Structure formats: structure tokens, C-alpha cells
Structure 1
């Protein structure tokens, strides 16, 4: 079942099995961040914690930007519907 929530994917180069972006897009319709890591394996968080922390920061920043865009769009729609009623 595809999900519509914001999703971030970080692919370590030494991972045996991973979802290519085209497959990931079928599972998650709202991929905000998809990145191939320069190093690490299956246990990337243990192997390269600073690298993963950076990935999380990048994803969270993109989530905040995404949320702000949605809020601005809602505000514009509300303003437009209010001006049309006059």
C-alpha cells in the first residue's frame, strides 16, 4: 500500500538489497529526500553516525519546507475563497 507521508531514503553503497528510486516511488508517493551515501553498509547508523545525522537533518529541513509550502498554499486558497464570496 503506497504511503503519502513525507519519506526520506538514504542508500548506503555496501547495502546488499535496496529499493531503486523508481521502486521506492511506487511504495512512497511523497519522497522528499533520496540520496546515495558515499560510504557505509547495512548498519549505517552505527558505522557512520555523523553521516546519518546529516541525512536526518537534511530530511527534516525538507519536511519543514514542505509543511510551510502546504500552509502557504492553504492560506492563499482561504484568501481566494474569501475574496470570491464578496
Structure 2
């Protein structure tokens, strides 16, 4: 009976990259199609300005209707940063 060769760690992962690639390709293609056909439907508005000692930004992102009857509306986000002044 021939001697078995020891199994190395790198032999256990043989083909793993191919499986991950095949599983990721449909997602990449979906994102490319979404960016091309849905990208223009997204709209946003941005407002920036000083509010006391804080510089404030407000962003509103309107999400397009991807499926009839399913409307997500808009997403609002607000952030601020302290205004630094040298005296």
C-alpha cells in the first residue's frame, strides 16, 4: 500500500478562490447594472452652514421606488464639527 502524503494547510483551500469569485460575480454585475439604470433616479439635497460655534451639514437622500408599492421615502442625515479659530 502506498504511503499517504501529509495534508498541508494550503491544500485544504484549493479552489476556494474560484468559489468566492463565482459567488461574487453576480453581485458585481448587479451593482454595475444598478449604477447604470437606477443611478439617475437617486436625488439628494445638501445644506451646509454655521450654527454658533459649530459648522453643520444636513443631507437628504430620496430613494427611488425600485418595486411598485414599496416606497422608502427619504433618508435624512445631520453632522456637525466644531469651528476652530485662532485668536
- What is the TM-score of this pair, normalised by structure 1? 0.31
Greater helix share, 1 or 2? 1
* TM-score, normalisation: structure 2: 0.31
Q: Which has the higher contact order (CA 8 A, sep 6+)?
A: 1
Give 1 or 2: higher strand fraction. Answer: 2
